[in-house]
Structure formats: C-alpha cells, structure tokens
Chains A and B, each alone.
Chain A
Amino acid sequence: MGSIANAFSSSIGKKLIMGLTGLFLISFLVIHCFLNSFVFFDNTGVLFNEGAHFMATNWIIRAMEIVLMLGLMLHIVQGARLTFENQAARPEKYAYNNGNANSKWYSRSMGLLGTLLLIFLIVHLSQFWTVSRFTGIPTVDSAGHEDLYAVMKETFKNIWFVVLYVLSMISLAYHLLHGFASTFQTLGWNHKKYTPIIKAVGVWFSILIPLIFAAMPVWIYLGL
C-alpha cells in the first residue's frame, strides 16, 4: 500500500509541502492585507486598532497563529533544504549558461527572494508582532484599545524603514509571481482551460497584494 509517511520524503512530496504551505501563507496574506488596509480609511487609527484588537483576542485567530508560525517554519526549512539539495545536484557549474533564454529570473531565484523575505520578516515581526504579543504596547487610543497604530506611526517616521518595507514588498511580488501559479502545477492542476486563468489571477495577486502592503508605510510616512 502507498504510504503517506514516505511520500513526503520524496522529490514530489517535498514539492507538495512547499506548495501547500505556500498556499496557506497566501491565504494569510489576504487576511493580513485586508485588516491592515484599515489604515487608509481612518487616520486616527481607531478602526485599525479595533481590527488588531479583534485579531489579538479571538481564540480561533490565536490558534491559527500557531498553525501559521509552524507553516511558515516548514516553508522556510523545506525551502532551504530544497535549495541546497538542488545546488548539490549540479556540482560542476556551466562556464556559460543562458538561463534567460528559457525561464524567468525570478523563477530561478526563489531561494534568494525567500532569504530576503526572511530577513524582512525578522525585522517586521520584531517591530510589531513581539510588541503586540509579548512586550506590550504602552499607549491606548481614544476607544480604549492598545494603540498599535501609534507604533506604526512611530516606526515609519524613519525613511529607511519605509524603504526597507517597499523593497521587501518588491521581493514578495516576484516571489509570488512564480510561487502562486507554481503551487497549482505542483498540486497536479495543469489544464488547458484553467491554467491560463490561474496564471492571470497569479499575476494580479502578485502585483496587487504587495502594492497595497507597500503603500501602507508610504501612506503613514507622508502623514495622509
């Protein structure tokens, strides 16, 4: 009988883990992007803080946060493992390899883009996540909620953080540009009718979500 346990150690199983965790992280991006976009609609921050308060106190969200962290870890560890394995599969490199003739640079640079995103995540989580979950936010807003919006405003007074966030969202865009459609191919969904739709949705998703995220620090820096 086919065994699920040994399936995940094979080349196809390892791809499946990357694809499934990637898809899960994509669903997280949608929720994160939706809630954070509250900053565009209320510059007192009350609306945004209410959203953050809901996320911090809802037990389903808190439970999913643990799943999210595990999923993220798995995606990172497996991604690093695959990158090293794949490099080892060609010990002697070509003197001249014209990769651009047959594939997109970002599809060949998922390890590099992922590493840039990991660096961003370490900075990002230490700036917002550890503050809201562990060390605590000192101030409250007019509605009596913890003022995460104030932390955001303070952080993005620094132009270099704004620049870091915008550049990181460009990395995210390219990571998604390959990752989104690639996930469905890995899952075995390649279809004459549906694959072009998946690819088109992937392109729009990869531009739109990082663009909205990147607009946030810029928006706050400009005091809009």
Chain B
Amino acid sequence: MSIGNMNLTLKVWRQKSTKDKGKMVDYKVANISPDMSFLEMFDVLNEDLITKGDEPIVFDHDCREGICGMCSMFINGRPHGPKDAVTTCQLHMRSFKDGDTIVVEPWRAKAFPVIKDLTVDRSAFDRVIAAGGFISVNTGNAQDANNLPIPKAQADAAFEAAACIGCGACVATCKNASAMLFVSAKISQLALLPQGQPERYKRVQNMVAQMDAEGFGNCTNTGACEAECPKGISLENIARMNRDYYSAKFISEEEG
C-alpha cells in the first residue's frame, strides 16, 4: 500500500466489555494515504498498536465492498461518516483533510449494547427478522420463472426495500434510536410481492411487537434515518408499515 502524507488525530471510543464504562482515547496516525479506506486506516493504527504491545481496537467489518452491513462506525457525529450513501468501508481518507481530528464512536442504542470498543451487538435485528421477516413455503422443485406475474414498478419498489443491509445506521443516527426504517424495509420487501401476502398482516404485527420488545425508541419522523442510510431506504417504507399495521390491528382477522 502506498505511503501517503496525511497525519490525523483520532478520538476513539475504547471499552473493554459490555460492563466496562469506556472512554474516548486519543491516537495519532501518520503517513496515511488518501486512497486508503477508513477501515484500512484503522488497520494501520492497529498494526501500530500491536507493534507497541497495546490492545488493538476492535471494530466490525467483513466484505469491505459496502454490501454486507457489518461495518458500523459513528464518524464525526454521523453513521458511516460524512459521505452520503456509503458504508464506512467505502469511505476513503480523501474525504478528510491532513491534520483533521476525527471522532469515532460505536452505534449507541439501548438495543445495541457495546461488546467491545466499536463493536456492538446487533442481534436485536436478527430477532426482529425471526419474528416474521420471512415467507413460509414448502420445499420441492423450483417453480417456473415468471410463474407469478409481478408489475415492474412493484418489483422495483420491493427491490429498493430489499437493498437494506441491516447495518443499523438508521438506529444509530435516530435521536430516538428507533429501528422503524430497518423494520419497515424488511416488511415492505415482502408486503410488495405476491409471495408475501399470506402472512402479511401477521408479519407486521409480530415484527413490530418484537421491535418494541427490543427497546428501540419510537419514530418521530425526523427523517435522519433516510438521510444517513447507505442504501437510500425511503421513508415511504415506514408509511407502508404504518398502513399495514393499522389494517392488521383494525380490520384484519390474522392473529399477531
């Protein structure tokens, strides 16, 4: 990797375990290339810490291609940093200036307890999905393609909702730590397709109930989630979830 000329000050949240109180710690990094990703810059810092015999900073990452939803840093007061529609792994150091001070914190929410340093436990999302974010089908031979005709606009809207990678940036940035953008995307991707219809009203009731049980806050429509979502998930999904929820509770006969 090319050696660059950026020198930065990092203020990073360090926390030994869920029970530990945690604190911000200052680090200096030198000779950073502007072509590095934000995570590669952290790799350089960690190599440095290991060489010195210090504990490296723990952070979540996996594909580093912006599609897995693992990276989760709250950078300078915004999830995934200053750029729109990118994840932390796709954020490059050229988005910062030489000499900058960068504040890096974990997602903060009651439902996302810190495991260590910048890594948080997002299994609350898994439990919301397990509560109904699926369709029940019998296994067997694959069906013929285009067996179920779906209008193009409908398919596009479902696909846009399905683009959610479940990173949790919406929860992280929401002043109420509300998970409604995530949950509504996971409900919409199925509610918009014929395959999602049989369990549609049961699904919305169960997933919302699980979301509430996990301790996420209540949505107040500030729109911060939509603005920060790396995949551009729209607030229209929350409105659709609300509609489905009212239908489910007020007129549907499907049990939650």
Contacts and interface: CB of A to CB of B under 8 A. Distances in A.
A89 B222 contact: no
Interface string A93-125: 111111101111001101000000000000000
A2 interface: yes
Nearest to A105: B222
B77 A101 contact: yes
Contacts of B24: 95
Contacts of A12: 208, 241-242, 245-246
B205 interface: yes
A187 interface: yes
B218 A2 contact: no
Q: How large is the interface on A (under 10, 10 to 19, 20 to 34, 35 or more residues)?
A: 35 or more
A103 B178 contact: no
B243 interface: yes
A28 interface: no
A92 B180 CA distance: 20
A103 B227 contact: yes
A3 B241 CA distance: 17
Contacts of B128: none
Q: Residue among A110, A178, A190 with the most chain B CB within 10 A?
A: A190
Q: How large is the interface on B (under 10, 10 to 19, 20 to 34, 35 or more residues)?
A: 35 or more
A223 interface: no
Interface string B123-137: 000000000000000
Given A2-B250, A97-B77, A178 B242 contact: no
B105 A89 contact: no
Contacts of B111: 89
B128 to A, nearest CB: 12
Contact of B220 (A2, A6, A98, A107): A107
A98 B76 contact: yes
B74 A90 contact: no
B210 to A, nearest CB: 11
A102 B173 contact: yes
Interface of B: 11, 13, 24, 74, 76-78, 82, 103, 105, 108-111, 173, 175-178, 180, 201, 205, 208-209, 211-212, 215-224, 227-228, 235-236, 238-243, 245-246, 248-256
24 contacts: A6-B249, A7-B245, A10-B208, A16-B242, A82-B218, A85-B217, A86-B176, A86-B178, A86-B217, A88-B217, A89-B111, A89-B215, A90-B109, A90-B217, A91-B110, A94-B108, A95-B11, A96-B76, A101-B227, A102-B227, A107-B221, A186-B242, A188-B240, A188-B246
Interface of A: 1-4, 6-7, 10-16, 82, 85-86, 88-99, 101-104, 107-108, 110, 178, 181-182, 185-190
